[in-house]
Structure 1
Amino acid sequence: MRNILILEPFREKHINLIKSAAKEDFTITQISGDYDEKELKDALKKAEIVIGQPPISFLQNPEINCPKLKLIQMTWAGTDQYTRSDLQFPKESVSLANASGTYGIIMSQFVVGMILSLMLNFKDYHIQQQQRVWDRRGPIQSLDHAKVLIYGAGDIGSAIAKRLSGFDAYIIGVCRNTDKQRAFFNELCSLDDAESYLPVADVVIGCIPNSDETNGYMNYRRLKAMKKGAIVVNVGRGNFIDGIALDELLSNGHLWGAALDVTNPEPLPKEHLLWSNPRCMITPHASGTAFEHLQATENLLCEIVCENISRYCNCEKIKNKIY
């Protein structure tokens, strides 16, 4: 019997939808939470489709460790744990698809909330409330007609641009294919050309996938090149920004504030200077969570999973295919 292995805590209604998408050709095995390594290895040997993120070490020697595996349907948008140049994903025998299209709606709201919290001093007011202090904090900033540079113009970056367009912001998107039209962006530029926009951008947002080019991209020199009083937000990959350089440029007042939902490393060590920097907001990689956080996101994820399982069963082109 053909098997689908699910490594995430999908709700029962979603499991039933996945079963329906697979028709009667597949049995379902679900392993989530704290699972035994041997249990997972044994399950992988039987699985034709995996929904989730199996450790890449378990995918080595596929003819032995996962001889029946044909498709990994990720539940995340980021794929670098499989696509980094130093890794060996068995793409000759296994297809890989991500969950692009799932997280843009909620992550874009998260980003707007972060920006407004920094611009309007909400963090300071929260501290004052705890101290029972009544004091107006100023100055403040506005998103109205702000220039925003977004590194990454895919699903998440486009969703952020859509939200910010409601503030009449001028939005520049950084992407590989600048010839492709993308809604809600006023301009598009390549990564090589993006640096020229740093001195004029009021807000810089990182939501770009990890790559050799983006690893450590926002170093001291580029952070220093940003407009004085600018805000930087990162919801992509933690290694996009040099945390030590960021702390220095926040502390000396060059940058207004920073909001980090991703850090390098994760979790951020307790002794890291950014924890105590009053100009920095830190959240625990929470902007794109699905399971047990927002059912609407779970529903979107289930739609993508079911569509690709149906496509696979019907020998159709897989959506969001990486390999």
Structure 2
Amino acid sequence: MASYSHSVKYYLCLFAVLALAALFEIGVFDMETSQVSDGNMKKRFAFGDSKVCDLRTPSKAVPVVLISLGRSGSSITWTTLTSLARQENIAYEVTGGNLDKNKKFFKDLEKSPNKDQNWLINSLCKVRNFRDDVQNATVFGIQWKPYEATWDDDYAIEGLHAAAKYDKTEIKAIFLHRNPLDRRLSNQRHTKSKENDNDVSAHCEVGDKKCIEQHSNFDRDLSLPVGKNLLHFVKHDETMKQRIRDRLDEVNMKYVEVSYEKLYNEDNAKEWMRIFSFLGVGPSEGLTMNDVRSTFKFASTHTKARNETIVNFKRVEQTLVGTPYEYLLSS
């Protein structure tokens, strides 16, 4: 009797194994195992293969991910870009506008059984299908702030990888960065404005003199770290930029790298035309800075030189001169 019982269990187990194998073979379970390098460690994890939508459009609009750290001019860059490319629209910060929201976004992906490596593609699909302001656009997309704490998250890596492999249309990325000294100063101004009793908008629309005047009040008595602290800060910024480049290259993501300084501080529009040439839409030749500025929705809220606003500018200058980061003083 015991022998018979063991035989039944054996055949039941064998049947279960064969049934599972058959289900995998016909695609009922379609799982992809990924291997992610994290320093000297390698983690293995499995993602489900969710259904993704078709991003192709009659107008052949280009889906774009704008990758940019905070206070780098991403909002005005996107509205200017899409305005010049035919229809102005907004790219929302899908992964969160600050570090806490960014961490929560990726943590929620881990908790949700309906989310997998296709989250980036599906985020673009939602923009494409449910946003009225992109229906006639030639460019649409989302913003992604690449915080260090989550840039190596499994879902961040695999989301980019899935987008790079998407074969219905090419998803492209724009990597925008800005002089870290100016980003830090901008953060200080932003913090000051939030501490003020009056509610001050983060951006001022062109012609809003009251808003611009309010911002000018925060464009004074600013300071930067000096000595080793400043060198650590700018070196860390360079390292993070390189990590972003390396990741985009690693997953074979098509991207163009542009700088805030060349977009806004030059007397020509070459950097803008580089973007349009890369995207394959918009004015890739003959564009002037007058054309670009005519589309600006937001006004510049600070026009003073660094030595006019940074109270310890001399010490900042002394720290950077003669180092690989001296160029930051003139860019």
The verdict on a shared fold, with TM-score over 0.5 as the criterion, is: no
The structure with the greater share of residues assigned to helix is 2
How does the TM-score come out when normalised to structure 2? 0.26
Q: Which is bigger in relative contact order (C-alpha 8 A, separation at least 6)?
A: 2
Higher CA-based Rg: 2
